Amino acid sequence: MQIEITSCPLGEAPEWVTDQWIGLVLPTRDRAPRRVKGYGVLSAPRSIMSDLLRQWLGQTEHHEGYLVPAAEAIAILETRSPEAAAWWRANTRHLLKRWRGLLFDPGCCRLLEGTR
């Protein structure tokens, strides 16, 4: 499955960075937006223990969107804007682990028909 980013995504990244997503096609396993508990990309905890503590304290936020592997999304972003990709790598290194993802809100993207 793939999504196309059609407008500036919501989130904590600067607008000049999020604008660079517009027009890119990104991979997702989602056939519809999913609902998740999580954090913003800058306010996310940097360790598992901190994450568990914040979850226990109920300090997660509810989000809805299409989940995209973070490292893969940033690699695709780099083809358009090395500067924006560098911002992600410098400010959100905690998201570059293989199992981490970026959530794109349904209002900023569309699911591409015919993708698997």
Number of domains into which the chain is organized:
1
Tens of pLDDT, residue by residue over 19-31, are: 999 999 999 999 9
Tens of pLDDT, residue by residue over 52-64, are: 776 777 777 788 9
User: Which alpha helices (H) appear in 1-116, and where do they start and end?
Assistant: 15-18, 48-56, 70-80, 82-91
Q: Is residue 41 part of a domain?
A: yes
Residue 2 to residue 72: CA distance in whole angstroms: 12
Q: Is residue 116 part of a domain?
A: no
The model's pTM: 0.83
Parent domain of 48:
2-111
Residue stretches of the chain with pLDDT short of 50: none
Left, alpha or beta for 11 (phi > 0: left; psi -120 to 50: alpha)?
A: left
Residue 111 to residue 63: CA distance in whole angstroms: 18
CB-based contact 88:13 (threshold 8 Å): yes
Q: Is residue 52 part of a domain?
A: yes
Partners of 25 in beta bridges: 4
End-to-end CA gap in the chain: 4
Task: State both tokens at 33.
Answer: 């937006």
Q: Is residue 12 part of a domain?
A: yes
